[in-house]
A = this chain, B = another copy of it.
Amino acid sequence: MTTLAAHAPPLAYAAVRGHTLELARGLSEADCQVQSMPDASPVKWHLAHTTWFFETFVLEAAEHGFKPFHPAFRVLFNSYYNGIGQQHPRAQRGLVTRPSLAEVLDYRRQVDERMAALLRRGCSAEIAARIELGLQHEQQHQELILTDLQHLLSCNPLCPVYDEAWDAAAAPAESAETLAFVALPGGLVEIGHAGPGFAFDNETPRHAVHLRPCALASRLLTVGDWQAFVDDGGYRQPRWWLSAGWDWLRRDGIEAPLYWRRGGGGDTSSAFTHRFGLQGLQPLRPGQTLWHVSLYEADAYARWRSAQAGGPPLRLPIEAEWEHAAALAPPGLWQMAGRAWQWTASAYAAYPGFAAWDGAVGEYNAKFMVDQYVLRGGSPATPPGHWRTSYRNFFPAATRWQFSGVRLAHDAA
């Protein structure tokens, strides 16, 4: 196990905390209250839990005569840190209507004031590291606020709009280009984070990986790319699918990416014409970045496209290929950052030599290292300044409510 490292300069506390409130501006107490599925959390819970993190991991350690804002919040807003004590059951977060949103905002305000006082009087390197972690943590919840809220609004038959201007660049210029492949030489390369600057424990240690030569797609898949797959009956033919993917598709009645909607009043024989998003319901346009597919769908698409294209078998990149390419920044390789979380073929696992952080924050990443796959690259929902090349996001293969997209790859001929 290793300790959190202190870095300079830290993210600005007030800016990060303020951005969270910015995301919730315009939401009603009801919008902030509801949990639309067990995987998602209410916005109010996100607001409280990120505050709980500073109260528990910073103020409790740094304040003389520390007193919690409310004893019950210790359990209510603990997400999963067993080292800290009990947690409220995840699937029931949406049932806690009291404390109210106003009380949670008070909680934020009081903790922010105490944090401001602490920052003014200065703190040890260890506490500074905890603060940086708290801010990085809060940025992760900023992305979840958006994805969880989109899911909630998608359950409303009135298709409410969160922000009409959200991701105005949803169909960027590069997406109109023909999909090409950019060669990547093989050999012994290094990936992983090796300071300076903040990184999560799961990005370390930097280590050697032996790669074969391969090629990565020049851009992400688009809505137009995917429509061809849907139109060709891709969701109805088992030959493209991993066995577990086909079982999943049949059990859940999957026919298209999450949030795609049929025209024709929802008649199951009519075509998909729209997708729901934070901008509300929008017509599908070929140049849009494809989002909200599972790893199973990404894998099936690669297999289907291989059969159409006739070249080398297409597949998803492994995460070392992806990170190495990102580090090389080869010419012609677009949309590596900030357009979609890109599924990799790599299961989420400890890097060789990995050691989780000491203490309760060691539960941050290590205990999730099973049954999940790594996504790379960041999305439009990722807060500015949060992402870096070595960043490892991870979700189960069936996950679709994140901004998950696809970059193809193939072995060198």
Q: Which chain B positions have C-beta within 8 A of A296?
A: 370
Is B28 within 8 A of A100, CB to CB?
A: yes
Interchain CB contact (< 8 A) of A397 among B158, B245, B318, B371? B371
A349 to B299, CA, bound (A): 13
Is A157 within 8 A of B238, CB to CB?
A: no
From residue 216 to 275 of chain A, which have CB atoms closer than 8 A to chain B?
238-239, 241-245
Is B95 within 8 A of A152, CB to CB?
A: yes
Give the copy number: 4
Q: Which chain B positions have C-beta within 8 A of A370?
A: 242, 244-245, 295-296, 299, 397
- Kindly state whether residue A61 has any CB partner on chain B within 8 Å: no
Q: Mark A355-376, 1 if CB is under 8 A from B, else 0.
A: 1000000000001111100000
Q: Mark A331-373, 1 if CB is under 8 A from B, else 0.
A: 0000000000000011101101101000000000001111100
- Kindly state whether residue A208 has any CB partner on chain B within 8 Å: yes
How big is chain A's contact interface, by range?
35 or more
Q: Which chain B positions have C-beta within 8 A of A238?
A: 82
Interchain CB contact (< 8 A) of A367 among B83, B242, B355? B242
Q: Which chain B positions have C-beta within 8 A of A152?
A: 95, 97
- Kindly state whether residue A30 has any CB partner on chain B within 8 Å: yes
Output the residue of A30, A31, A211, A296 with the most chain B CB within 10 A: A30
Nearest-Cβ distance from residue A128 to partner chain B, whole angstroms: 27
Stretch at the interface among A4-12, A72-80, A113-121, A133-141: A72-80
Given contacts A29-B33, A96-B156, A212-B353, 11 further A-B contacts (CB under 8 A): A28-B29, A28-B100, A30-B44, A30-B100, A72-B158, A75-B157, A80-B243, A82-B238, A82-B239, A98-B156, A295-B370
Chain A residues with a Cβ under 8 A of chain B: 1, 28-34, 36, 44, 72, 75-76, 80, 82-83, 88, 92, 94-101, 152-153, 155-158, 160, 188, 207-212, 238-239, 241-245, 295-296, 299, 313, 315, 318, 345-347, 349-350, 352-353, 355, 367-371, 397, 411
